Structure 1
């Protein structure tokens, strides 16, 4: 076995892979949130449907999506491996006081939090990604008057197009698209699904607060100059703002739509 392979399969190597994949997923969350904020626009879903088409058809984004799927799988597998390794290395559990003294609740329950998030990802993909890619969402046509910029939206059948069309005709901009916005609105009328999404975002908050800080610590950014910045980003950006923003989406559709 080469020194490179030995480094990757060591405990530190596994933690390094966990850190890099975790930080990549954190970056994805920011991009995904910015795109999903289009859901709050009062335009019958036009901006969000445009975003959905762009994210699934722009070649560089499609390439990154495969890296995203791989990162989720690798992150989960290595988390499981490290959890099993740690249990084998410490067969006798710490006494209650000693185990809690130097660790936080979320650091001790990263496995549970991660499991909740894996179930959430599977649920999310089944409700939206799978249905969008397998033609299980309705179609919509937007007609925007170019002189007044007023837009009319009408549900249509697929007709002679598959994914998306945008063209100008008789002073109107016409857009035909798969209406993922309507699927989102429909899915979030289910109170159990909404409750699960909010619960999952709470789990995401605790997971990210610990995971973000741990990733930078593994990468060597534990100098007192960096720690306050990392702690601020972990708590306020990834622990509060991002989970609350994502949780607001199902609540918005359930209570306001």
Structure 2
């Protein structure tokens, strides 16, 4: 039983780190939205076309989808098991966490992120893949116009900002938790791990939060 739980934790840790890498790439692509409008439209639509037509990127995308689903399902199973096993509360080794609040509320944070992903995939990925969109001057689907329209609505931006705050807490906890599971949270490296975790979390969440705000207020 312990071996099974360890395997689940290792899978969660590895998929989590893979998703962390994906967030870097995703953020770099989305930062094009901060460019002047004409340039942003051309580059972002070209970027979206490239992502949807390149076979290698498609394969990586399916690995990403499987990673997300596996990460969510196994995390949910472990959470349920921890809350019900022997009628006892699960013991948290708080040395591995930046905040006890994070570890106590990962279920809430994960639920917020899951709802956010559903909205995000429905409004952007599904719309781009399966609906007719207007074309830009280069003949590419104008996803830029869809993004700008979405981020021009206050309620939509508010949902995104709340979700991204949840992402920040989730990343910070997950980074340290994954480091511990993979044996990287060693006294020799603990300071470096903490610095990297905080810097990564602030850059990723800050970058993603800035984009909707920039478009809304512009």
Alpha-carbon distance between aligned partners in 2 of 1:136 and 1:255, rounded to the nearest angstrom? 28
Alpha-carbon distance between aligned partners in 1 of 2:166 and 2:205, rounded to the nearest angstrom? 9
SS in 2 for 1:140: coil
Displacement of 1:235 in angstroms is 1.2
Matched with 1:252 is 214
Matched with 1:223 is 186
Matched with 1:133 is 129
Q: TM-score, normalised by structure 1?
A: 0.78
Alpha-carbon distance between aligned partners in 1 of 2:31 and 2:175, rounded to the nearest angstrom? 23
Q: Is the 8 A contact 2:172 2:198 kept in 1?
A: yes
State the superposition RMSD in angstroms: 2.1
Matched with 1:104 is 100
Q: Which has the larger radius of gyration?
A: 1
Displacement of 1:227 in angstroms is 1.8
Displacement of 1:70 in angstroms is 0.3
The reply on whether 1:50 has 2:50 as its aligned counterpart is no
Alpha-carbon distance between aligned partners in 1 of 2:46 and 2:169, rounded to the nearest angstrom? 32
Matched with 1:163 is none
Tell me which of 6, 13, 18 is aligned to 2:7.
13
Matched with 2:28 is 34
How many correspondences in the alignment? Answer: 213
The reply on whether 1:61 has 2:57 as its aligned counterpart is yes
Alpha-carbon distance between aligned partners in 1 of 2:136 and 2:122, rounded to the nearest angstrom? 21
Q: Is the 8 A contact 2:82 2:89 kept in 1?
A: no
Moved over 4 A (4+): 98-103
Q: Is the 8 A contact 1:41 1:47 kept in 2?
A: no
Consecutive unaligned residues of structure 1, counting only runs of 5 or more, are 1-5, 142-174
Displacement of 1:85 in angstroms is 1.0
The 1:231/1:119 distance shift into structure 2, 3 A limit, reads same
The reply on whether 1:177 has 2:140 as its aligned counterpart is yes
SS in 1 for 2:139: strand
Displacement of 1:206 in angstroms is 0.3
Alpha-carbon distance between aligned partners in 2 of 1:100 and 1:217, rounded to the nearest angstrom? 10
Q: Is the 8 A contact 2:13 2:182 kept in 1?
A: yes
Higher relative contact order (CA 8 A, sep 6+): 2
Displacement of 1:134 in angstroms is 1.4
Displacement of 1:71 in angstroms is 0.5
The 1:207/1:101 distance shift into structure 2, 3 A limit, reads closer
Where is the helix percentage greater, Structure 1 or Structure 2? 2
The 1:100/1:221 distance shift into structure 2, 3 A limit, reads closer
Alpha-carbon distance between aligned partners in 2 of 1:62 and 1:119, rounded to the nearest angstrom? 24
Matched with 1:206 is 169
Matched with 1:119 is 115
CA deviation string 1:79-112 (max 9, x = no partner): 1110111112252448xxx989876101110110
